[in-house]
């Protein structure tokens, strides 16, 4: 029997496969498409996603293919400078086309031993107390202990589960085209700058090698957005807004997307779970979709691996929903707000002017950027130290860096006291006394996803928290390192 089947070989499914393989879980990834998409959909990795890649030793590969930038205006296009004191060693956004992200994550997952089968569509599922039976379109039936639906906003897995997906349908539709233009770059830039004074959902962005990405509001909402627009339709909408179609020709991609906003009622039903767009859809404002999915996978992977191994404490797997569902709800709130702020109606435009004034305040600007880039997330672990529930930034240790110590997906006790121990959990938790002076706490216990699960200096208190996240103790050893 397969341990875990992942439906969907997008960034979320691939990230999850890699996380599970770090713990020896047998993983099979299924995707209905025969080849990876070359469409450059999502284009930016936010700070928290960059940190995640660093924690798993992947960041250098992405930096080699990306471009760093620190530009203001990330929230609804409001002008403003990039905050200078963000709490991260990676306080930038990394521009990487989604096909590159998927290729690098595929290489990572397969190098760890994950199997990926393309051209295999999930069409049915049944679960019982011991596993999940998965039916494929070609008549094949597979059996796994768990199934995770990472199969997008129109998720078959979510539909088969009967999980509600409440929210709002699209009210605004936007056309997207990757095309070549005959107009020169200076002319394009001047026209776009003029149009965007009143229409923030319009854009013509140079991609290099003569290619441009065109984003322009559609004329109404299509009944079926899976049917792409024609090049003539894109040209008509360009002329309607800009007075010119810039000589658009030779399309590489034509698509349409809406502003539908929906959130799955549950992320888990028995042995079947949902992650990424299968669990939440929202407008692309702020570029949060791909990043939210990667962070879902990072939260779920170590918990599901512990469940498969039989060492998960009671309720651990359910914390995936209780932690990530509120995060997605908050993202839906921010994307709804951004779409309103980009409206051309008088009321939203007045609100936008007010928000632009507020965004000039340093604390407001930082707050908005922290929300968009994922570093403001704090899971509810109860009352306690200010670090509790938050992810810990990368720290310089006596020898090396904190994130370099986290590449195997294990827990970590950073111990400035030198008097604590992880005896009984050394097979799951590393003990490091070579700590950082900048750590404002005597000791912190980090989960495999880098969130602070405990802060203190009491051995007795620590022993109350280790089982909560890492299960019952095993052999009495303590792998303490300097």
Q: What is the mean pLDDT of residues 432-456?
A: 92
**pLDDT, tens only, 32-66:** 998 987 766 777 899 999 999 999 999 999 999 99
pLDDT-based confidence at residue 477 (cuts at 50, 70, 90):
low
Phi, psi angles (nearest 5°) of residue 451: -85, 145
Whether the per-residue pLDDT at 429 is higher than 70: the answer is yes
Question: Sheet holding 480-481: strands in order across?
Answer: 452-455, 443-446, 411-415, 429-432, 480-481
Q: How far apart are CA 62 and CA 65, in angstroms?
A: 5
Kind of pairing between the strands at 173-180 and 203-208: unpaired
Q: In which band, very low, low, confident or very high, does the pLDDT at 344 lie, cut at 50, 70 and 90?
A: confident
Checking DSSP bridges between strand 443-446 and strand 452-455, what pairing results, if any? antiparallel
Residue 425, classified by CB atoms within 10 Å of its CB into exposed (0-12), middle (13-18) or buried (19+), is buried
pLDDT number for residue 476: 66
pLDDT score for 474:
87
Q: Once rounded to an integer, what is the mean pLDDT over residues 272-279? A: 98
Smallest CA-to-CA distance from 411 within 428, 397, 427 is with: 428
pLDDT by residue (tens digit) across 283-292? 888 888 999 9
Residue 312 corresponds to which tokens in the numbers above?
A: 């998960």
Task: Among 377-381, 394-398, 401-405, 434-438, name the one with the lowest average pLDDT.
Answer: 434-438
In this predicted structure, what is the pLDDT of residue 76? 84
pLDDT attached to residue 463: 95
Give the pLDDT band of residue 261 (cuts 50, 70, 90). Answer: very high
pLDDT score of 13: 98
Q: What is the mean pLDDT of residues 96-116?
A: 96
For the chain, percent of residues with pLDDT exceeding 90:
75
**434 or 181, higher pLDDT:** 181
Task: Provide the mean pLDDT of the chain.
Answer: 92
- b/e 155-192 (16+ beta carbons within 10 angstroms → b): bbbbebbebebeeeebebbbbbbbbbbebeeeebeebb
**Over 60: is that where the pLDDT of 482 sits?**
no
Give the confidence band of 146 by pLDDT, cuts at 50, 70, 90. very high
Residues 6+ apart with CB under 8 A from 68: 92, 93, 94, 95
Per-residue pLDDT band for 481 (boundaries 50, 70, 90) equals low
Which pair of tokens denotes residue 243?
């007075």
Mean pLDDT of 148-165: 97
Q: For the residues 95-115, what does the mean pLDDT come to?
A: 95
How confident is the model over 179-186, as a mean pLDDT?
Answer: 93
Residue 307: predicted pLDDT: 98
Mean pLDDT for the stretch of residues 378-383: 94
In this prediction, residue 320 carries a pLDDT of 98
Return the SS3 of 54: helix
CA angle 205, 359, 261 (to 5 degrees): 60
The whole-number pLDDT of residue 188 equals 93
CA–CA separation, 52 vs 448, rounded Å? 11
Of 32-46, 312-326, 339-353, the poorest mean pLDDT is in 32-46
Tens of pLDDT, residue by residue over 4-33, are 999 999 999 999 999 999 999 999 999 999
Spell out the domains of the chain, with CATH numbers in brackets: 2-167+262-373 (3.50.50.60), 172-258 (3.30.70.2450), 403-481 (3.40.30.120)
199-234 pLDDT tens trace: 888 999 888 778 898 999 998 888 776 788 999 999
Question: Can you read off the two tokens belonging to residue 314?
Answer: 């009671």
Structure confidence at residue 259 (pLDDT): 86
Q: How far apart are CA 421 and CA 481, in angstroms?
A: 11
Distance (Å, whole) CA 286 – CA 333: 12
Rounded to an integer, what distance in angstroms lies between the CA atom of residue 482 and that of residue 346? Answer: 61
Specify the pLDDT at position 285.
82
- State residue 437's pLDDT score: 79
Confidence of residue 108 (pLDDT cuts 50, 70, 90): very high
Q: Is the pLDDT of residue 475 over 90?
A: no
Lowest pLDDT segment from 135-144, 263-272, 339-348: 339-348
């Amino acid at each position: 029997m397969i341990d875990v089947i992942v439906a969907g070989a997008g960034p979320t499914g691939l990230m999850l496969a890699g996380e599970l393989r770090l713990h020896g879980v047998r993983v099979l990834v299924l995707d209905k498409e025969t080849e990876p998409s070359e469409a450059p959909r999502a284009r930016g990795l936010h700070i928290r996603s960059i940190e995640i890649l660093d924690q798993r030793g992947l960041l250098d590969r992405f930096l080699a293919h990306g471009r760093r930038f620190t530009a203001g205006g990330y929230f609804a296009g409001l002008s403003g400078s990039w905050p200078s004191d963000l709490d991260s060693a990676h306080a930038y956004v990394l521009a990487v086309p989604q096909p590159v992200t998927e290729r690098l994550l595929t290489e990572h997952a397969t190098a760890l031993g994950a199997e990926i089968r393309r051209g295999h569509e999930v069409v049915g599922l049944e679960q019982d107390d011991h596993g999940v039976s998965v039916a494929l379109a070609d008549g094949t039936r597979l059996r796994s202990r768990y199934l995770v639906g990472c199969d997008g906003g129109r998720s078959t897995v979510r539909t088969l589960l009967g999980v509600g997906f409440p929210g709002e349908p699209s009210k605004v539709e936007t056309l997207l085209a990757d095309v070549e233009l005959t107009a020169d770059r200076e002319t394009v830039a001047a026209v776009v700058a003029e149009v965007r004074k009143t229409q923030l959902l319009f854009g013509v962005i140079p991609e290099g090698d003569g290619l441009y990405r065109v984003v322009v509001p559609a004329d109404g909402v299509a009944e079926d957005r899976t049917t792409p627009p024609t090049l003539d339709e894109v040209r008509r909408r360009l002329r309607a807004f800009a007075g010119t179609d810039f000589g658009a020709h030779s399309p590489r991609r034509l698509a349409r997307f809406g502003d539908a906003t929906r959130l799955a009622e549950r992320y888990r039903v028995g042995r079947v779970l949902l992650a990424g767009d299968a669990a939440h859809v929202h407008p692309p404002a702020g570029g949060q979709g791909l990043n939210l999915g990667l962070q879902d996978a990072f939260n779920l992977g170590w918990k599901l691996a512990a469940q498969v191994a039989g060492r998960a404490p009671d309720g651990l797997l359910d914390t995936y929903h209780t932690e990530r569902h509120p995060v997605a709800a908050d993202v839906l709130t921010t994307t709804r707000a951004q779409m309103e702020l980009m409206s051309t109606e008088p009321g939203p435009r007045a609100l936008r002017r007010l928000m632009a004034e507020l965004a000039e305040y340093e604390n407001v600007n930082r707050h908005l950027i922290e929300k968009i880039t994922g570093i403001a997330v704090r899971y509810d672990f109860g009352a306690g130290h200010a670090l509790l529930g938050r992810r810990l930034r990368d720290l310089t240790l006596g020898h090396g860096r904190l994130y370099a110590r986290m590449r195997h997906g294990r827990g970590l006790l950073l111990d400035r006291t030198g008097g604590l121990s992880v005896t009984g959990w050394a097979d799951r938790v590393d003990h490091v006394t070579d700590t950082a002076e900048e750590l404002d706490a005597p000791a912190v216990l980090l989960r495999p996803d880098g969130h602070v699960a405990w802060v203190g200096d009491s051995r007795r208190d620590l022993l109350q928290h280790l089982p909560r996240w890492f299960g019952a103790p095993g052999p009495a050893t303590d792998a303490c390192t300097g």
